Structure 1
């Protein structure tokens, strides 16, 4: 897909706005806590004051909890903040499937069940926030053969379920290792992959070299430490600041039209994700954003809101 000429180089921040759960444990229908949402207004303020428009991709435990609804509704009042959908099937009714790793990818579910979960979640978001969601992300990036037709029939305009240059095939999920960072059309939808950048002196040989290194014990880690080749996703979660800054420079230099950033909402409070375990990690989380947003501003990369994305797609 080609962005309109006046769109320029932009960036998005899509937040996986979700319940708290044990990242090391099995999937559980009972894990529906949303206490970390109380920390979102501070994170929102800091990112917004730096010029970022944020889109919250909300799952069922968040969309159906009154206090979480209230907090997010207040954030939407600024006119720049967007709301979208994230489907975690194990906590999204109807609960007609077994809870296991394969079924944690919603695209693996039977068409009728995937559709039913999508309908209930879409209606819950519409009822809670007074607007129809237009952006979708499958939980665990788990799109399947029916996902795009189901989304299009329900008025969605954008999918952001593909994590460029990653594969979940070993867990029964999709393989995006051949997907790049450019936006593209799938029927009546536009796919906005999460941006992943190869950096290092040998990046011109990726992705073939990166794939081959996966078969060498500690090969990827060694090449990364030597500055030869790294795979850097645009997220503050487990991605060092220096790597992220280099990835932004490379992406912009390569002509990437839209840089798609993401993080999980529980990371804005200590103790809910492995990425932000304590107050020190939270300070590092914000330091990461301060540095990245400053570089984006220096490079002239502007934020794109949900409304601006949808408008640009209609013009392209």
Structure 2
């Protein structure tokens, strides 16, 4: 396989462009489907505000409810912990026990607004995306987060997610310099430019190398289109999701009619039926690696907009059980960890 160019190439808008085709990883057609589970382990906060004093982590004590379901299916999830979780006993305590027993892995998630150093007294919406920060400030925050995880958990985090999917043109280099080997910041097909964030249209769901040395691997969150118009999903959805399109609810109309629906593999905001349909559609397109993700605050009633009451928490836990049963039995897949996948891809991609 030819050497890989860096996929963290700045585009004209100051963000990053889609990976070059020779950076993408293709699994053999006869390889079994594999599933990763990532949990954004973070504080409960008002999602309409970003303030450094919103650091409550009561939700972490509730993770045992979903953890039991995951373990029933042999799944070892990765908790992507942010600074408030790593820095407070109430946050790191419940996860340390899981880590010590080999029942989870610990990664990192950077929320700039609650991670020191605090340079801007009033953080702007654009600055909530870590990739928009000055390189020296992004590095300082990432280094402080990494050190706090090492101190709080006794491990060097292997995997990273930028909060709000805020991967920027300097992020890959910073991750490599701090010893990370996996990034999961890309939400395939999403466009956050309205808030000053990145655009991931055209990225696809296949993993790819972020560096020419093939050390830092990107695994996009599983998100794609289903429906009769899915082949032109990115271009059509861009029109439907415009200001005018949203005003007349075109995305909702397309989804209801079965023509085009953008689905994320998550129990938050997606039905299990939608997740299953996406999985089957991607399998038919040759995809063999999938990732489920959700927020830790979704295990606490009122912890975020997805779970205003305990009923939604119960629904989320039921979703996990139903989807894992489907993936392991109907699909014939297996669950894996980030470190396992990284080793697999390195062997697969060896010259």
TM-score range, shorter chain: over 0.9
> Among residues 40, 55, 76, which one is paired with 1:16 in the alignment?
40
User: Out of 112, 124, 147, which is 1:123 matched to?
Assistant: 147
Q: Which residue of 1 aligns with 2:279?
A: 248
Once the two structures are TM-superposed, the CA of residue 4 in structure 1 deviates from its matched residue by 7.4
Instruction: Specify the alignment match of 1:210 in structure 2.
Output: 237
Question: How far did 1:251 drift?
Answer: 1.6
Partner of 2:346: 314
Query: Which of 21, 33, 58 pairs up with 1:35?
Result: 58
1:3: Cα distance to partner?
4.4
Q: Equivalents in 1 of 2:119, 2:27: separation in Å? A: 41
Q: Which moved more, 1:149-158 or 1:282-291?
A: 282-291
User: Is the CA contact 1:82–1:307 (under 8 Å) kept in the aligned structure 2?
Assistant: no
Counterpart Cα distance in 2 of 1:101 and 1:157: 28
Q: TM-score, normalised by structure 1?
A: 0.95
Query: Cα distance, 1:229 vs. partner?
Result: 0.9
Q: CA RMSD in A?
A: 1.6
Q: Distance in 1 between matches of 2:268 and 2:29?
A: 33
CA distance in 1, matches of 2:293, 2:57: 19
CA 1:70/1:118 → structure 2, altered by over 3 Å: closer, same or farther? same
Counterpart for residue 230 of structure 1? 261
| Aligned position for 1:292 | 323
Deviation at 1:275, TM superposition (A): 0.8
Equivalent-residue separation in structure 2 for 1:110 and 1:146 (angstroms): 9
Q: CA distance change for structure 1 residues 315 and 5 in 2, over 3 Å: closer, same or farther? A: farther
Contact 1:232 1:239 in 2 (8 A): yes
Match of 1:132 in 2: 156
Report the alpha carbon displacement of residue 30 of structure 1 after superposing the two structures with TM: 0.3
Higher mean displacement: 163-172 or 273-282: 273-282
Q: Secondary structure at the match of 1:285?
A: helix
Question: Are the aligned partners of 1:7 and 1:312 in contact in 2 as well (CA < 8 Å)?
Answer: no
Q: 1:55 aligns with which of 64, 67, 78?
A: 78
After TM superposition, give the deviation of residue 80 of structure 1 in Å.
4.7
Counterpart in the other structure of 2:205: 181
Residues of 1 paired with 2:283 and 2:220: CA distance? 16
CA contact (8 A) 2:33 2:331 kept: no
Q: CA deviation at 1:178?
A: 1.5
- What's 1:190 paired with? 217
Match among 294, 302, 311 for residue 334 of structure 2: 302
Deviation at 1:52, TM superposition (A): 1.9
Contact map agreement 1:135 1:157 (CA 8 A) in 2:
yes
Within a 5 Å distance, the mapping from 1:48-87 to structure 2 comes to 48-87=71-110
In 2: Cα distance, 1:254 partner to 1:78 partner: 37
- Counterpart CA distance in 2 for 1:314 and 1:130 is 26
1:9-29 residue CA offsets vs partner (Å, 9 max, x unmatched): 2111111100110123x2110
Shift of 1:241: 2.1
Where does structure 1 lack aligned partners over 5 or more consecutive residues? none
The alpha-carbon deviation at position 32 of structure 1 amounts to 0.2
SS in 2 for 1:206: helix
Q: Write out per-residue CA displacement over residues 219-242 of structure 1, whole angstroms, 9 at most, x where no aligned residue.
A: 111111111110000111111222
How many angstroms does 1:197 deviate by?
Answer: 2.0
- Segments of structure 2 that go 5 or more residues without pairing to the other structure are 1-24
